[in-house]
Structure 1
Amino acid sequence: MSFSVPVQLELHNEPLPLSSPFRISGHVFTDMPATIVTLRHDGHVGRGEAAGVYYLQDAPPTMLATLEGLRARIEAGIDRQALRTLLPPGGARNALDLALWDLEAQCTGIPAWRIAGLPAPQPLVTTFTVGADAPATMADRAAAYTDAIALKLKLTGEVDLDIERVAAVRARCPDAWLGVDANQGYDAATLPRLLPALLAARVALLEQPCRRGHEEDLDGIAHVLPFAADESILSLEELEARHQRFDVINIKLDKCGGLTEGLLMARRARALGKKVMVGNMAGTSLAMAPAFVLGQLCDIVDLDGPTFLVADREPSVRYSGGCIDIPSGLWGRLG
């Protein structure tokens, strides 16, 4: 954590349009803008990308302004532990944290995975996500992922329609690992109606069934399949406070504020007896690469963000055989 050098800071935002609208519970996305942080030191360059947390109004314009306001402090030199006290969890800290990781790897010649105390990374099975739509449309989209081993379906809280969606996809994809993400769409009254249908369809994971701040809705409901926290647990502090109601913790670097905090969360979740998942807020391959490092500690990996974009970066992550892998030259001296 002690790596700190004076840097030249460059900041900009990118629009990152999606190739088609993407629907989840309560939102339809047509783009996923991101803030890009570039740090330069002695001929070396470190980069980080973050989208922020849309449901907290943590968006690139605000993220950019936050980082610009700290320019003098950043350019004087800051290490990743000091950054955890300087900025709260969220997109601004994430973008800068990832750039610091990348810069350290470039300056020292030590890959990010080794700095993180991990073995050399291996390709990871990733889920491929199907946005909420008509059941037949979702089944078609799921079946179009011909290489996929694992699928994740977005639900909306419309119980009867969600049941049809899950059944339609399972009928078309009988052998795939299947998870569903309710994105806060259910409550104590509606969730018990959904659960039998998920069991019948052999669904392996229910992500974020209830609204953030209403986790008590889960009290008294049997976990007939694993429940995962996404919006309910953003950071290490919230993990300590809210883990009891969940079986799986979905860590996203944008939520927690970077790979530094993400690694702390994954290791702490393990110590608490939880399974660990890594997810994403969409984004290019530059955002997936550091999450791939975290993914080496995870039971479930959801890193399909670039597949929804009109265009990705080069070099880009590789998807093959239902897995994600990272090429050399992208970030953190991986590959």
Structure 2
Amino acid sequence: MPRTLRARADRFALKRPFRISRGTRLEAEVVTVEIAQGDATGRGEGVPYPRYGESAESALAEIAAARDLVEAGATRTQLLTAMRAGAARNAIDCALWDLEAKTTGRSVAAMIGAPSPAPVTTALTVGIDTPEDMARAAAAISAVPLIKVKVDASDPLAMIRAVRGAAPEATMIVDPNESWDEPLVRAAMPVLTECRVAVLEQPCRAEDDDWLAGFRGSVPICADESVHTADDLDRVAARYQAINVKLDKTGGLTEALELARDARNRGLKLMSGCMVCSSLGIAPAFFIAQTADWADLDGPLWLAQDRPGGVAERGGFLHPAESGFWG
């Protein structure tokens, strides 16, 4: 039965500004793919990321270039070599998972041999601000189990101490988004230990992380921008103790499952992460989060209005989307 692929760019306003070391965002821009076959339609979402040279326009162009292949019946495995890893392939890959679930009556969980997704503890994010304002933001969520603290290089240790003082019990992830350098990483380790930080995520630029080979600080370091697919693991395993698996980097759930499995086999810890996105981008990531050491899937919680039937957060626990939403 023939397929029909449709793609568009969607924008979602945020509840409040989202500030990291690269800048401040007021909206989430995503690409949405729908693949129809008979009476069934599979949906997927990708978030083009400028850090990786992507935009909504470039992602839609990649999707358009793959249209004939997808409509002719290409499999997810074939897409791994036909398209580069990134937001465009992610949107198509996840739409194909959803389409197969709808056309066969078998859930994605059944297809991959996993239980149906259960609620997961997700990090709630404290964005960059003055230490005083970050403390206030942390105090408002201090009862949740896991907090991610965004920092830059301006006064990061004061920011970290302020958040820890306002949320003394929460497990803490610190994420500089590549804004630190080697001297700052080394100097920060005692404060990270003092503040009981569980993991430091991608402190320096992926292009400048060679010095991490053989370095073992008092707090484990997690690769984010340095790792996209399983092909990166030989390099990454020598520098990091954990990796952040994001479907927009892997180019879909298909590659994300392989990356997570191979990373575990190498003894690396896992974080399940996301961009600022809607619940359509989070639903597939639940399958990575089920076995991850940390989940950071609060992207939809920043939206002023999510897609209907999406995920729900209660007390720092993220609950899967409603039945029939995806997969």
If the TM-score is normalised by the length of the shorter chain, which range does it land in?
over 0.9
**Alignment-derived partner of residue 292 in structure 2:** 298
Structure 2 residue 37 is the aligned partner of structure 1 residue 41: yes
**Alignment-derived partner of residue 206 in structure 1:** 200
What is the rounded CA distance, in whole Å, between the counterparts of 2:305 and 2:24 in structure 1?
19
What is the rounded CA distance, in whole Å, between the counterparts of 2:28 and 2:315 in structure 1?
26
Structure 2 residue 320 is the aligned partner of structure 1 residue 330: no
What is the rounded CA distance, in whole Å, between the counterparts of 1:189 and 1:220 in structure 2?
16
Gaps of 5+ in 1: none
Residues 146 and 168 of structure 1, relative CA distance in 2, 3 Å threshold: closer
Structure 2 residue 241 is the aligned partner of structure 1 residue 247: yes
What is the rounded CA distance, in whole Å, between the counterparts of 1:220 and 1:45 in structure 2?
48
What is the rounded CA distance, in whole Å, between the counterparts of 1:216 and 1:71 in structure 2?
39
Alignment of 1:61-140 (within 5 A): 61-140=57-136
Q: Partner of 1:140: helix, strand, or coil?
A: helix
Once the 2 structures are TM-superposed, how far is the Cα of residue 221 of structure 1 from its aligned partner?
A: 3.9
Structure 2 residue 26 is the aligned partner of structure 1 residue 23: no
Paired AA for residue 307 in structure 1: L
What is the rounded CA distance, in whole Å, between the counterparts of 2:255 and 2:156 in structure 1?
34
Paired AA for residue 21 in structure 1: P
Structure 2 residue 226 is the aligned partner of structure 1 residue 232: yes
Paired AA for residue 331 in structure 1: W
Bigger mean CA deviation after superposition, 126-135 or 210-219: 210-219
Please give the per-residue CA displacement for 1:246-292, whole angstroms capped at 9, x wherever unaligned. Answer: 11110000011000000000000000001111100110111110001
Please give the per-residue CA displacement for 1:78-109, whole angstroms capped at 9, x wherever unaligned. Answer: 11000101101001100000000000111111
What is the rounded CA distance, in whole Å, between the counterparts of 1:218 and 1:182 in structure 2?
16
What is the rounded CA distance, in whole Å, between the counterparts of 2:206 and 2:277 in structure 1?
23
What is the rounded CA distance, in whole Å, between the counterparts of 1:54 and 1:127 in structure 2?
23
- Which of 150, 164, 176 is 1:182 aligned to? 176
Asked if structure 2 preserves the Cα contact closer than 8 Å seen for 1:59 and 1:91, the reply is no
Asked if structure 1 preserves the Cα contact closer than 8 Å seen for 2:142 and 2:166, the reply is no
Please give the per-residue CA displacement for 1:5-62, whole angstroms capped at 9, x wherever unaligned. Answer: 6311111101222222211112222222000000111101100011023201212111
**Alignment-derived partner of residue 160 in structure 2:** 166
What is the rounded CA distance, in whole Å, between the counterparts of 1:120 and 1:102 in structure 2?
14
Q: Partner of 1:277: helix, strand, or coil?
A: strand
Asked if structure 2 preserves the Cα contact closer than 8 Å seen for 1:154 and 1:181, the reply is yes
**Alignment-derived partner of residue 309 in structure 1:** 303
Show structure 1 runs of 4+ deviating over 4 A. none
**Alignment-derived partner of residue 266 in structure 1:** 260
What is the rounded CA distance, in whole Å, between the counterparts of 2:260 and 2:30 in structure 1?
24
Asked if structure 1 preserves the Cα contact closer than 8 Å seen for 2:214 and 2:238, the reply is no
Q: Partner of 2:284: helix, strand, or coil?
A: helix
Bigger mean CA deviation after superposition, 237-246 or 174-183: 237-246
What is the rounded CA distance, in whole Å, between the counterparts of 1:220 and 1:267 in structure 2?
23
Q: Partner of 2:324: helix, strand, or coil?
A: coil
Structure 2 residue 204 is the aligned partner of structure 1 residue 215: no
Count matched residues: 326
Asked if structure 2 preserves the Cα contact closer than 8 Å seen for 1:53 and 1:255, the reply is no
Q: Partner of 1:11: helix, strand, or coil?
A: strand
Asked if structure 2 preserves the Cα contact closer than 8 Å seen for 1:147 and 1:320, the reply is no
Paired AA for residue 25 in structure 2: F
Q: Partner of 1:118: helix, strand, or coil?
A: coil
Q: Partner of 1:190: helix, strand, or coil?
A: helix
What is the rounded CA distance, in whole Å, between the counterparts of 1:280 and 1:233 in structure 2?
14
TM-score (norm. length: structure 1): 0.94
